[in-house]
Amino acid sequence: MSDSDFLSLERDLKEGKIDTLQYRERLKARCGSAGLDLSLSHRYEIIYAWSAPLYGSALVDLRAACANDVRQSIASVIHPFYQGITRPLTFAEILRVRLDDKTSVLWNTYLSSCTGVLYKGNPKSKVVEFKIVPISLDFLAVPNDFTGVSLPVAFDSIDAEILRTDKVRCDNALTPKQAKKNRAWLAAAEYNQTLLNDYVDRAECEARARRNDPTDYDLDDYFMNFCTSNSHEDELRSLVLGDAGDSDAHSRYPLDDYGRFVRVCPQ
């Protein structure tokens, strides 16, 4: 999509010649990209390939659900897309939809994203170096029958902040206060401090509500752990958000499992 085409669509939207749905329809038709827009009337459903819970299988099912919806023209554009192709939500977008979820259904299960954690291979070091990749193009191209654990991606091939486990608290439970200040969580939230703060507050409430005695739940024991993986070689792993029991951020889960996406649907 050319810059002039994009600017023309932006101008038409601002001048009221087209509405937001028409804007997204034309953007997608021209292989443009659009993220999550919660101002549009919407609901949520969870896409999961029960027969083969692969990341790639769930990705195919997500795209098919958007394409085959009864309200196809709306369904195909209300969910985020990249260069004209339906994509999973980013990790930060998952935080947003959980905050938006009035039923708490999205809090009852883990949720996969198109956000990746890129690791630097160094098996001899106790320090893990990694980067957060908000939208991984590699994940958008995972085949439906892919059964590997991760993807081989060179650590230096992506420009992003380098995080180190000797500088950032990982693989340990965090208090709500620590979670709000954790650099790995902030990077995963795409450096949106307000979003992270709001999510931590809601996650604390959801976690307490799921305990037999909410007043006796010690968040110091199990809460918002950012789980890393010590890699032998450079590799890209999917970032998964745990359920409300802990709201951990996991990058240890393999791509041949844990394919579960949120689909944003027309109301």
- Most trustworthy range by pLDDT among 123-127, 132-136, 247-251: 132-136
pLDDT attached to residue 210:
75
Whether residue 79 is predicted with pLDDT greater than 90 in this model: the reply is yes
pLDDT attached to residue 93:
98
pLDDT attached to residue 149:
92
Give the position of tokens 């790995």. 184
pLDDT attached to residue 129:
96
Average pLDDT, integer, range 151-173: 96
| DSSP class per residue in the chain | --HHHHHHHHHHHHTTSS-HHHHHHHHHHTT--B---TTS-EEEEEEE-SSS--HHHHHHHHHHHHHHSTTHHHHHHHS-EETTEE-PPPHHHHHHHHHH-SS-GGGSS-EEEEEEEEEPP-TT-SS-EEEEESS-HHHHT--TT---SSB---GGGS----EETTTS--SS---HHHHHH-HHHHHHTTT-HHHHHHHHHHHHHHHHHTSSSGGG--TTTSS--EE----SS-EEEEEEE--TTT--EE--S-TTS--EEEEEEE-
* pTM summary value: 0.93
Task: Give residue-wise pLDDT tens across range 39-69.
Answer: 999 999 999 877 667 999 999 999 999 988 7
Count of domains observed in the chain: 1
Provide the pLDDT confidence category of residue 123 given band limits of 50, 70 and 90: confident
Average pLDDT, integer, range 55-84: 88
Whether residue 228 is predicted with pLDDT greater than 90 in this model: the reply is yes
Which of 34-38, 172-176, 207-211, 233-237 is predicted least confidently? 207-211
Answer yes or no: are the C-beta atoms of 185 and 203 closer than 8 Å: no
Alpha-carbon torsion, ordered 60, 140, 78, 198, to 10 deg: 120
Whether residue 265 is predicted with pLDDT greater than 60 in this model: the reply is yes
pLDDT attached to residue 156:
97
Answer yes or no: are the C-beta atoms of 184 and 227 closer than 8 Å: no
Percent of the chain with pLDDT over 90: 72
pLDDT attached to residue 221:
56
The CA distance from 3 to 110, in Å, is: 38
Domain of 147, in residue numbers: 3-21+30-266
Burial class (CB in 10 A: 0-12, 13-18, 19+), 232: exposed
- Most trustworthy range by pLDDT among 169-178, 190-199, 205-214: 190-199
Distances (CA, A) of 210 to 101, 202, 213, 245: 17, 13, 8, 7
- State the average pLDDT for the chain: 91
pLDDT attached to residue 220:
53
- What is the distance of C-alpha 94 from the center of its chain? 5
